[in-house]
Amino acid sequence: MSQADASDTDSLYDWSWFARGMAQVFSLPALILISAFVGFGGLAREAGISLGQLIFMVPTVWALPSHLILVSGIAAGVPLLAIIPAVALAAVRMMPMTMALVPEIRVPGSKAWHLLLVSNMIAITAWMHTIQKAPEIPRPGRLPFFAGFAGIMMVATTVVSGLVHQLAATFPVPVMAALYFLTPIYFAASSWNTARVKAEHLALILGFALGPLLFIVVPQANILFAGIIGGFAAFAFHKIASRGKGS
Amino acid sequence: MYFDSFDHTLWPYLFILLAGVLPTAVWRWIGVVLVGNISDDSEWLVLVRCVATALVAAVIAQLIFQPTGALATFPFEVRVGAAILGFIAFLCFGRRLFVAIVVAEVALLTGYALY
């Protein structure tokens, strides 16, 4: 790199979209993610996680399934070497998610370190919301939009889960259940709308059906297998369908 | 080694880093490296998107079929039924997220009240 990085990234990206990403904190997906962390704040407290540890782990781990495995592992006294593979297995999906997002947000001059840095903010909600909004955003604005949205969500979820932890806030069971229920419904509806090709709808249906079915066979890795089998099957359908349509 | 193995105040943070942060983040870094040379219109990206979508779908299924916390106290039929109703309403009424949420939540709480 011959030029200063600051001027480099200034000309590559349109940072006015960072603020517009942050403004998405007042969106339905943001509200749903914040609700999920209301539950997590309480869970962490029950597991004996201190406020400082909670504030540290929310934005650094930044994937709710990993959070849940980590905290329940700590609560159950599971050794470090057993928690690592469990978390790693649950987080494999970050790899294809990252590979799907990067081509949406990079610009021709993007350096690897820009992408490595923002990749740390990838989690389902910000990922999905950005892929959905990307077509409406000029390419230089996409990475800043993602960073702005994911960044404000990191702050908001840390504050909210910290508050719940500190106040020992408890809510009636039906309220908590209704809050938890928002997340799967949002993920389902949003990934249906985000699909660009029919095969992704098929992948969604297959993954949903295979997940619980494979739990019977491979309870530790059912999500991973459902993703691989469902994803490859949907891609095979895509190849066959496009061959039929093509020359 | 366990979460409470050492008395040092920084040990729990190191534990979180090793057990939670790194095993999650490493997949993001691998993703960035692997996608580096794939062109934006490559067919491989369709495969990647299909796998990512199927993985998210399996997470969705787990959140409904095997939830943790308060939702686990709700009957299985109520959870699954409410999710299906919400999704059907979503497909029928203009694919609006808002419709899916309202119908699914009303169905969930109605089912809970009736059981």
**Which pLDDT does position A245 carry in this prediction?**
66
CA B26 to chain centre: 19
**Which pLDDT does position A8 carry in this prediction?**
62
Question: B90, B99 in Cβ contact below 8 A?
Answer: yes
Structure tokens at B77: 């039929």
A207 to B54: CB separation less than 8 angstroms, yes or no: yes
CA-CA distance, B115 to B99, in Å (whole number)? Answer: 24
Residue of A nearest to B18 (CA): A84
**Which pLDDT does position A170 carry in this prediction?**
79
Mean pLDDT along residues A149-155: 98
ipTM score for this prediction: 0.91
Q: Shortest CB distance from B69 goes to which of A43, A215, A226? A: A43
Question: A29, A156 in Cβ contact below 8 A?
Answer: no
**Which pLDDT does position B19 carry in this prediction?**
97
**Which pLDDT does position B95 carry in this prediction?**
95
CA-CA distance, A233 to B55, in Å (whole number)? Answer: 13
- For residue A159, the tally of other CB atoms under 10 A from its CB is 15
pLDDT at A149 over 50: yes
Nearest CA to A181 among B53, B77, B80?
B80
pLDDT at A169 over 90: no
Structure tokens at B95: 């694919």
Domain-by-domain residue ranges, chain B? 1-37, 39-67, 74-115
**Cα distances (Å, whole numbers) of residue A153 to A33, A51, A157, B68, B113:** 8, 18, 6, 23, 33
Nearest CA to A207 among A186, A185, A189, A188?
A188
Structure tokens at A236: 């095979």
pLDDT at A67 over 90: yes
**Which pLDDT does position A28 carry in this prediction?**
94
A99 to B36: CB separation less than 8 angstroms, yes or no: no
**Which pLDDT does position A244 carry in this prediction?**
75
pLDDT at A15 over 80: yes
B100 to A177: CB separation less than 8 angstroms, yes or no: no
Q: A155 or A176, which is more confident?
A: A155
Q: Shortest CB distance from B51 goes to which of A60, A96, A190? A: A96
Question: B40, A101 in Cβ contact below 8 A?
Answer: no
Q: Which residues contact B35 (CB under 8 A, 6 or more apart)?
A: A98, A99, A102, A103, B48
For residue A202, which residues of chain B lie inside 8 Å, CB to CB? 50
B57 to A96: CB separation less than 8 angstroms, yes or no: no
pLDDT at A182 over 50: yes
CA-CA distance, A69 to A84, in Å (whole number)? Answer: 10
